[in-house]
C-alpha cells in the first residue's frame, strides 16, 4: 500500500497540480498541506498557485511540483 506522500508525489510527477479538494476526492487525503510540508522536508520544491473560488467567495491553493 502506498503512503500519502507517494500518492501525491506520483500524481504531481505527471505534471498535474493538486488542491485540497482534489486530494480528498482522488486520494481521501484530508491534510494536503501536511503532505506537502513533508515532501518539502524531503527536498522537493513546489509552486503554489492561488486561485479564486468560482462558486463561493474566497480562494484556494493548488500545488505543482517544480521540476529541477
Strands 46-52 and 59-65, how do they pair? antiparallel
Report d(CA 23, CA 29) in Å as an integer. Answer: 5
Residue 3 has pLDDT above 70, yes or no: yes
**pLDDT confidence band for 67 (50 / 70 / 90):** confident
Query: 47 in helix, strand or coil?
Result: strand
Render pLDDT for 4-21 as a digit per residue (tens, 0 to 9).
Answer: 999 999 999 999 999 999
Confidence (pTM): 0.87
Render pLDDT for 21-65 as a digit per residue (tens, 0 to 9).
Answer: 999 999 999 999 999 999 999 999 999 999 988 888 888 999 999
Domain ranges for the chain:
4-65
Q: Which three cell numbers stand for residue 45?
A: 520544491
Nearest residue to 12 (alpha-carbon basis) of 22, 25, 28, 31:
22
Report d(CA 28, CA 67) in Å as an integer. Answer: 26
**pLDDT confidence band for 68 (50 / 70 / 90):** low
Amino acid at each position: 500500500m502506498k503512503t500519502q506522500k507517494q500518492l501525491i508525489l506520483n500524481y504531481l510527477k505527471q505534471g498535474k497540480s493538486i488542491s485540497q479538494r482534489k486530494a480528498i476526492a482522488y486520494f481521501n487525503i484530508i491534510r494536503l498541506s501536511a503532505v506537502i510540508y513533508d515532501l518539502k522536508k524531503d527536498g522537493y520544491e513546489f509552486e503554489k498557485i492561488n486561485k479564486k473560488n468560482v462558486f463561493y467567495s474566497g480562494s484556494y491553493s493548488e500545488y505543482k511540483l517544480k521540476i529541477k
